[in-house]
Amino acid sequence: MSWLEDIFQRNKDIPSSYSVEGEIFGSEVEQRSYMKRLALEICINFIARSVAQTEFRIMDNKKRVRDDWDYLLNVRPNTDCSASDFWQDATYKLIHNSEVLIILSDSNDLLIADSFVREKRAVYPDTFKNVTVKEFTFARTFSMDEVIYLTYNNAKLSRFMDGMFEDFTELFSRMVETSMFANQIRATAGMDSTQKLDDENLGKLQRFIDKMFNAFRKNAFAIVPKLKGFEYDEIVNGGNGGRSVEDMMKVLDKAIDYVAELLGIPPAIINGSLSDYETALKAYIKFTNNPIIKKFCDELNAKLITKEDYLKGKHFKAFGIQVKSVTENAEAVDKLVASGAYNRNEVREKFGDERVDDPELDKYVITKNYQTVEGGEKNDKN
């Protein structure tokens, strides 16, 4: 009667395996917060890289002054980074943290604070305590008039992020889970019903399945022996896996476009669209890049130039990325000079070049022959 007992025992175990007492099982969608971080990193770093190309020049009566500040701001702000890395990090912190604090150490190094505590005052300058750079915290207190401190109003960005990315992240996570489920390789393994399903046989079956699974998962090409009494069948769902991946990328691109628009970046620049690229680039430089550079320039003028020197003509001037090129605008340059609207040194400044110490380039000329204004009168009479 032992074989009957085995049959009854197997039949007895079946209901427990398929018990459906009204319960519905599901899996919660895993929230993928990296989507928000990715969109922010792409957009903020784009602005930071463009601002990092800026050169801050000290001008005194239209002549550039090369001193220690010029070296610190444009070559080596401190012992650990170059000027481009420094300004990229400063811009990133300004946008991401809504503020950035730059201090001058006792060794005359410009350092960007990682954390600090600002104490606001009504009459006297605000102070900054617990200023930390990397793992070092300064014991001294810094006054507002001895630091470079900028703020960036991104309250709109923060409010939008909190609401938008909850929806976008949930949607994107669901699409990832669905795509993984649709492209999952599922299989069934069975044994001959004549074999006894005791712990020993089940253990052998499980060990064989594990070996087979690892062979399929780790190797591009795998051979598995076919055993008598053992069946392995794959359930392949050849659905629209490629389509689901394409849809996920569209959702991600749309989220990045929204963040870019909030930060003032035309989406055409971020996603590489060639349509209206030049127009988008000009708009970005004029309305996003240049205003941030002006923030830095205004703060440098306020903290590093005295009022008396500023009124005498000494000031900081920033030269950043430009769309216009001298060679591409040669005809326009010729008309500006030939019409007498600008002299040649002024044109050089407009294209980011330094003035040349030559009195001839400071003169206003007219006509195609580039004659001086005084000499042109005789030619007109002839």
Token readout for 299 is: 């703060």
- What pLDDT, on a 0 to 100 scale, did the predictor assign at position 3? 40
**Is 44 in a helix, a strand, or coil?**
helix
Token readout for 227 is: 């055993």
Taking the alpha carbons at both ends of the chain, their separation in whole angstroms is: 134
Nearest-CA neighbor of 176 among 252, 237, 238? 252
Written as tens digits, the pLDDT of the chain (382 aa) is 444 344 344 444 444 443 344 444 444 445 556 777 888 899 999 999 999 999 999 999 888 999 999 999 999 999 999 999 999 999 999 999 999 999 999 999 999 999 999 999 999 999 999 999 999 999 999 999 999 999 997 666 667 666 666 666 777 677 777 766 666 667 777 666 666 667 777 787 788 888 877 777 777 777 777 777 777 777 665 555 555 677 777 777 888 888 898 889 999 898 877 778 888 988 999 999 999 999 999 999 999 999 999 999 999 999 888 766 777 778 888 888 888 888 888 888 888 788 888 888 888 887 666 555 565 555 555 4
Answer whether 32's CB lies under 8 Å from 173's CB: yes
Go through the domains of the chain in sequence order and give each one's CATH number. Answer: 185-236 (3.30.1120), 330-381 (no CATH)
Angle at 371 between CA 367 and CA 375, to 5 degrees: 115
DSSP one-letter code for 327: T
- What pLDDT, on a 0 to 100 scale, did the predictor assign at position 184? 67
Q: Is the dihedral of CA 210, 211, 212, 217 positive or negative?
A: positive
CA distance 58 to 69: 8
- What pLDDT, on a 0 to 100 scale, did the predictor assign at position 119? 96
- What pLDDT, on a 0 to 100 scale, did the predictor assign at position 5? 47
- Whether the predicted model's global pTM rises above the 0.75 cut: no
DSSP 334-345: HHHHHTTSS-HH
